[in-house]
Amino acid sequence: MGDVLTVSTSETTTGAIRYRGRNEVPPQFRPPRAPRHFVGRGEELSAIRAGGVTVLSGPGGVGKTALALKWLQDRGSGDQLYVDLATREPIADVLRSFGLIEVPAAERAAVFRSLAMRRQFTLLLDNADSAEQVTPLLPASGTVLVTSRERLNLEQAQEIDVEPLVDDPRLDALLDLSYVELPERQARLYRLCAWEPGPFDVPVAAAIAGEADCDVEDALDDLVEKSLLTEVGDAFRFHELVRAHARTKR
Ligand SMILES: Nc1ncnc2c1ncn2[C@@H]1O[C@H](COP(=O)(O)OP(=O)(O)OP(=O)(O)O)[C@@H](O)[C@H]1O
Ligand SMILES: [Mg+2]
């Protein structure tokens, strides 16, 4: 049996939720693993405070999500809820996964806050695009990490500017460890696609490699799984340091 939540109309209005059942976060809302070859970011990791709201802001691909995931993984305790705000109806989806099926749109934020409070979730709100989007979702207490390409200037939150990683020799060594374990098709794609200057999709990668779309798609998914590549919508992109590493390979 999964989680069971009951909400009556009057309770929905106040955002109160009665919960019973097992205390588990559905798999699709658990944070994914941090990159296996995570390096650096010591200062940022120690600046993130438990029990408060921290916004990690910076340009696309700089490493905001990876940093947040690493912090969550190191912390390891309590229930952690990962919400990708860039998806179509993220909050409705979260509520639905906890059995709250027909919460009216105007009340979802309040019900979400209540859920987060009751369960004392540590939240990662990934890919926020504005303060207006995030503010209604913040529970009155608890730990919340937010990532955004914009500075959000949220009240009572600390905001960390995530800057590009300086070249770190340890990253090359760690990437080598991942690279030598790649099956040949993945290793070849890793080397070849790194010469694409920007994001690329499956047909482009297939053309570069001279292979069928379906074969290439699986291999690209595996590279994403291994944190060597990032998926952005229908496209794939290298972190610039990973790209630099891939370009040194023959
Ligand atoms: N400190 C790190 N060590 C190793 N790999 C990293 C590190 N930071 C980021 N990466 C890798 O770089 C890529 C991009 O990082 P990430 O997805 O965190 O960027 P982002 O800032 O969240 O980008 P976006 O704004 O597009 O969401 C990923 O493949 C990630 O695994
Ligand atoms: Mg991200």
How far apart, in whole angstroms, are the C-alpha atoms of residue 18 and residue 41?
Answer: 40
Closest residue by Cα to residue 47 from 164, 166, 159, 163: 159
Q: What is 4-161's CATH number, 3.40.50.300, 2.60.120.200, 3.40.50.10300, 2.40.50.140?
A: 3.40.50.300
Q: Residue 39, CB half-sphere, CA atoms under 13 Å: how many?
A: 16
Residue 239: is its pLDDT beyond 60?
yes
Residue nearest to atom 4 of ligand 1 (CA): 38
Whole-number percent of the chain with pLDDT over 90: 62
pLDDT in tens, 198-212: 899 999 999 999 999
Read off the pLDDT of each residue in 39-59 and give the average, rounded to a whole number: 92
The answer to whether 124 and 75 have CB atoms below 8 angstroms apart is no
Whole-number percent of the chain with pLDDT over 70: 90
Domain with CATH 1.10.10.10 in the chain: 169-247
- Structurally, at CATH architecture level, domain 169-247 sits in Orthogonal Bundle (1.10)
Nearest ligand 1 atom to the CA of 68 is: 18
How far apart, in whole angstroms, are the C-alpha atoms of residue 205 and residue 236?
Answer: 9
Could you give the 3-state DSSP secondary structure of residue 81? strand
How far apart, in whole angstroms, are the C-alpha atoms of residue 219 and residue 193?
Answer: 12
- Other C-beta atoms closer than 10 Å to the C-beta of 60 total 11
Residue 171: is its pLDDT beyond 60?
yes
Domain with CATH 3.40.50.300 in the chain: 4-161
Mutate to test the pocket of ligand 1, among 70, 239, 241 (most ligand atoms within 8 A of CB): 239
Task: Report CA(55)–ligand 1 centroid distance (Å).
Answer: 16
Read off the pLDDT of each residue in 27-42 and give the average, rounded to a whole number: 88
- Report for 14-23, 187-196, 236-245: range of highest mean pLDDT: 187-196
Of 13-17, 70-74, 102-106, 236-240, minimum mean pLDDT range:
13-17
SS (H, E, C) 117-172: HHHCCEEEEEEECCHHHHHHHCCCCCCEEEEECCCCCCCCEEEEECCCCCCCHHHH
Residue 25: is its pLDDT beyond 80?
yes
How far apart, in whole angstroms, are the C-alpha atoms of residue 120 and residue 169?
Answer: 39
Task: For helices 184-193 and 202-209, give the axis angle rounded to 10 degrees.
Answer: 100
pLDDT in tens, 144-166: 999 999 999 998 899 999 998 77
How far apart, in whole angstroms, are the C-alpha atoms of residue 119 and residue 4?
Answer: 13
Residue nearest to atom 2 of ligand 1 (CA): 38
